């Protein structure tokens, strides 16, 4: 697919009204909107419908992780609400990912829709994985997960900026979506493996999920415009 603006703004706010108002404010500078767990479990998936009315793709970051039948049903419902992308944890296994792909496709009713496999959360470092009994580094684990996601029919994978090159080398057909984007001068918040938008673009990111640097700025529209300009410059030189 051709992505003209890779910025997906994470609308991590409390109400549907706030999400729509914020989306309308920054719509001219971003490529789409992300609805996270707070909205999906609060106002509900109807927020996806409301945002889809703005004629930009909506990313339902549901992070599905359950038995295949439950994941298939959830993905189907999100597709019916108009989600362009839905996330599912790769750690749920190939059968679960395949169920998510099938459910989303059925729910979307022929509209473009794809599953993004969540690999290693950007809040985790190697030490965190070791405490879970996982001896692989984040890069090694993401490499394996990307192969599983591709084989299961996912459209893309979610990884930190540090693993973008790894995903491109082992599963070049996958869309590479990265959170943990922090422009120069902003803090990492609860993210551990981060990068600037320019670095992420240089490493091959297709979608940049950016939340607090835009949504918590004094002027969200100006912040979105500034980041969009930086991304455009980086894209032109990539």
Backbone angles phi, psi at 86, to 5 degrees: -130, 135
The rounded distance, in Å, linking the Cα atoms of 157 and 153 is 11
| CA nearest neighbour of 37 among 18, 14, 54, 20 | 14
Continuous segment of H or E residues that includes residue 121: none
Residue-level length of the chain: 238
Q: Assess whether 63 carries a catalytic annotation.
A: yes
Distances (CA, A) of 133 to 130, 146, 193: 5, 20, 20
Selecting among 34, 56, 63, 144, the annotated active-site residue is 63
| Alpha carbon distance 122, 130 (integer Å) | 15
Half-sphere exposure of residue 106: CA atoms within 13 angstroms, side-chain side: 13
CA 110, 35, 166: angle at the middle one, nearest 5? 80
DSSP 190: T
β-bridge partners, 158: 118, 177
In the block, residue with structure tokens 């404010």: 25
Residues assigned a catalytic role: 63
């Amino acid at each position: 697919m051709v992505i003209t603006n890779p910025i997906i703004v994470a609308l991590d706010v409390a109400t549907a009204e706030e999400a729509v108002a914020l989306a309308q404010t920054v719509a001219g500078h971003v490529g789409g909107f992300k609805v996270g767990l707070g909205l999906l479990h609060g106002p509900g998936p109807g927020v996806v419908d409301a945002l889809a009315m703005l004629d930009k793709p909506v990313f339902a970051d549901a992070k599905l992780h359950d038995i295949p039948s439950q994941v298939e049903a959830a993905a189907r419902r999100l597709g019916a609400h108009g989600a362009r992308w839905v996330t599912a944890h790769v750690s749920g296994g190939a059968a679960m990912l395949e169920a998510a792909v099938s459910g989303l496709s059925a729910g979307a009713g022929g509209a473009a829709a794809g599953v993004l496999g969540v690999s290693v959360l950007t809040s985790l470092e190697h030490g965190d994985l070791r405490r879970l009994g996982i001896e692989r580094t984040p890069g090694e684990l993401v490499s394996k997960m990307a192969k599983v996601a591709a084989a299961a029919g996912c459209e893309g994978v979610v990884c930190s900026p540090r693993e973008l090159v790894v995903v491109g080398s082992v599963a070049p057909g996958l869309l590479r979506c990265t959170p943990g984007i922090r422009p120069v001068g902003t803090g990492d918040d609860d993210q551990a493996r981060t990068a600037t938008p320019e670095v992420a673009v240089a490493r091959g990111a297709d979608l940049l999920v950016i939340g607090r640097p835009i949504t918590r700025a004094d002027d969200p529209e100006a912040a979105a415009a500034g980041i969009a300009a930086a991304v455009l410059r980086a894209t032109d030189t990539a």
